[in-house]
Amino acid sequence: MKVIKTIKDMQALVQQLRRDGQSIGFVPTMGFLHEGHCSLMQRARKENDVVVLSIFVNPTQFGPNEDFDTYPRDFERDEQIALKEGVDYLFYPSVEEMYKENPSVSISVINRVDVLCGAKRAGHFDGVATILTKLFHIVSPHRAYFGKKDAQQVAVVHGLIKDFNFPVELVAIDTVREEDGLAKSSRNVYLTEAERTQAPVLYKSLRQAVEKINQGETNPDRLKEIISANIQAYTSAEIDYVEVYSYPELQPVTTVTGQVILAVAVQFSKARLIDNLIIEV
């Protein structure tokens, strides 16, 4: 596995790979890799000749009061994991390399962002769309892999690829969970011991709501009540949102039908956790 730190080297390499007829699978990450990322790398390994992983904690997608400075980072550990998963090239640029000059163009996501995490994180998806636009131009992948845990991100990236005609196939992969159901996340390390035992309630509550749907419940407000009541009863977390929307449109629904997302976000003392289930009704 080769570590590449400059845009120039990365672009020269992928141009050569493309001339050689190699297909490129790309896994963009912010590092501190866990099994969720591993499942993306494994799928990319299966479907492409070459796998490129990027590790870049992107400052433009963090708000002023968010955890950019303290976001967990461990490059040596990540390098070992990437090597084990069969990554060919690890793109690891500095912030200065990625954001060199005063920008003259900004990307603003105008759809699917005023709900869920986007509603509370102004500018977050603009930052995500900006860095992915740059990374897609630098890595020129045939396929790009994203986790469904960040379902709103998947929906936004879907729009970005479509609107800007990137010749990239978006591959969305199911959420990888701990044995007790907690979705794997780099931010789980922020949980205290007590909070870690409570955190699986998020997934259990979502599952309980899905069971209600299977029993015939179609009222989204009733489902939201079930999820919220569970989280309030069994965790010390503060609820940020509990929502039921159509997916991937992310529009409110009056009756649960078609493809819908049940999504939650909560704030524990230091960890903000999200989870969701996307189902076809």
In angstroms, the CA 60 to CA 134 distance is 12
Active site (annotated) includes residue 37: yes
Of 128, 138, 154, 156, the one binding ligand PAF (CB under 6 A) is 128
Selected from 79, 88, 126, 150, the binder of ligand PAF by CB under 6 A is 150
Tokens describing residue 197: 């035992």
With CB under 6 A as the contact rule, the residue among 87, 131, 213, 274 that binds ligand PAF is 131
Cβ at position 242, least distance to ligand PAF in Å: 22
**Structure tokens belonging to residue 180:** 């007790």
Give the distance from CA 111 to its chain's centroid: 17
Contacts of 182 (CB under 8 A, 6+ apart): 188, 196, 199, 200, 202, 203
| Residues 9 to 68 in contact with ligand PAF, rule: CB under 6 A | 28-30, 58, 61
Determine if 235 is a binding residue for ligand PAF (CB under 6 A).
no
Cβ neighbours of residue 140 closer than 8 Å, sequence gap 6 or more: 11, 14, 15, 18, 24
If binding means CB under 6 A, how many residues of this protein chain bind ligand PAF? 10
Rounded Cα distance between 193 and 96, Å, is 37
Beta carbon nearer to ligand PAF, 88 or 150: 150
The smaller minimum CB distance to ligand PAF, of residues 28 and 220, is found at 28
Taking the complex as a whole, how short is the minimal distance between the CB of residue 187 and ligand PAF, in angstroms? 11
Beta bridge partners of 166: none
Interior CA angle at 56 toward 249 and 23, to 5°? 70
Tell me which of 34, 37, 137, 158 is the catalytic residue.
Answer: 37
Residue (36 or 220) nearer to ligand PAF, CB? 36
> 150 or 256: whose CB is closer to ligand PAF?
150
CA atoms of 128 and 159, how far apart (whole Å): 12
Work out how close the CB of 23 gets to ligand PAF at its nearest, in angstroms, rounded to a whole number: 20
Residues that bind ligand PAF (CB under 6 A): 28-30, 58, 61, 128, 131-132, 150, 153
* Active-site amino acid positions: 37
